Amino acid sequence: MILKFFELGKINISSQNLILFYGNNEGLKKEETLKLYSNSKKEISRYDEKQILENPQFFFESLYSGSLFENEKFIIINRVTDKILKIVNEILEKKLENTTIIFNANILEKKSKLRAKFEKEKNLICVAFYPDNNDTLSKLVNKFIKDKGISLSPMNINFIISKCNGNREFLNNELTKIEHFSKKKRNITYEDLIKLINLNEDFSISELIDNCLARNQKKTFNIINENNFNNEDSVIITRTFINKLKRILILSKKYEQNNNIDQTINEAKPPIFWKDKDLVKIQIKNWTTKNIEDLIFQINQIELKIKKNSYNAMNIVLDFIIKSCSKTSN
């Protein structure tokens, strides 16, 4: 059965206790998982698919052990793929009571057998978690400041969102810091945000991509040399790259229509932070719509490649950035 994430509060998880979460919005997944867990008195256990597949007997013994007086169980199985389907079928063959299991997957294509099973069967729940866009994140921030009685200008809201690179979990962490700070000062300024927000690693990545798209080779090389990026950063970099390219693609299409760079920048929604306007102008002029679409395709291919084999991931990503920075727009 397919549900939207906001419909989860309407279900009775005691009768429908096997739930598949899939998609790459980990921040929203955590929010909805906490809501489900907070509504129960169950003990929580976490597994990785690999652990279960390597020792399924241990998992099932843990799953069905305990007396009728034992606390209910709340289980999260992370990084699941179609390989877990056999385990799901075994659970369904037996009567599972007082237990909720969330199967947490990344992106599952339509051809996925696991996704198909959870979508089609009425006693199973399937929920997709798609990436946030600037509009959904903006609504999240505006609701937060309204609920907390905090004053933030539209430009400062846009600044926070731009530095989170579409990552809801990162945004929530920063909003928590702002909430603590607001107990001393309700009107939060740009200078306050600079001190509060964790801009180091994520800012370095954002700055790296911005300078690459601006074809500032010197600055791009400096950022690479000054930061100790590792293989774990590779997917963050590719995600940031894609998010920024999608924004530039929208602006580039508008620029091709009106041939007025200032109008394109000033009418952008959400608004571009004033300190970034000159840089974004350079980026728009550097890349045609076709160039940007080609880059997005290439980065998606690189991301797939490094997810399959992360051994040399960072070198692959940085080589691509250096090559892109040196390209000439056609």
pLDDT computed for residue 222 by the predictor: 83
Q: How far is CA 82 from CA 108, 113, 115, 186, in A?
A: 9, 6, 8, 49
Based on the fold, state whether residues 59 and 111 are members of the same structural domain.
Answer: yes
pTM of the complete model: 0.57
Structure tokens at 202: 């994520």
Based on the fold, state whether residues 185 and 224 are members of the same structural domain.
Answer: no
CATH number, residue 266: 1.20.272.10
Based on the fold, state whether residues 284 and 241 are members of the same structural domain.
Answer: yes
Closest CA to 52 of 44, 61, 43: 61
- Split into its structural domains, the chain has a count of 3
Alpha helix ranges (H) inside 25-125: 26-38, 49-54, 56-64, 85-93, 113-120
Residue numbers of the chain with a pLDDT score lower than 70:
13-16, 39-43, 66-71, 165, 198-203, 310, 327-330
CATH number, residue 39: 3.40.50.300
pLDDT computed for residue 243 by the predictor: 87
| Domain-ending residue, one of 85, 110, 128 | 128
Based on the fold, state whether residues 214 and 184 are members of the same structural domain.
Answer: no
Q: Residue 45 — φ and ψ, nearest 5°?
A: -135, 145
Based on the fold, state whether residues 82 and 160 are members of the same structural domain.
Answer: no
pLDDT computed for residue 114 by the predictor: 97
Based on the fold, state whether residues 77 and 144 are members of the same structural domain.
Answer: no
Q: Greatest CA separation found in the chain?
A: 72
| Domain-ending residue, one of 128, 147, 178 | 128
Based on the fold, state whether residues 205 and 227 are members of the same structural domain.
Answer: yes
Based on the fold, state whether residues 181 and 204 are members of the same structural domain.
Answer: no
Based on the fold, state whether residues 38 and 139 are members of the same structural domain.
Answer: no
Residue 166 domain boundaries: 134-196
| Domain-ending residue, one of 196, 211, 240 | 196
Residues 235-285: pLDDT tens digits? 888 988 998 999 899 999 999 999 999 999 988 887 887 778 899 999 999
Based on the fold, state whether residues 108 and 12 are members of the same structural domain.
Answer: yes
Based on the fold, state whether residues 23 and 96 are members of the same structural domain.
Answer: yes
Based on the fold, state whether residues 101 and 160 are members of the same structural domain.
Answer: no
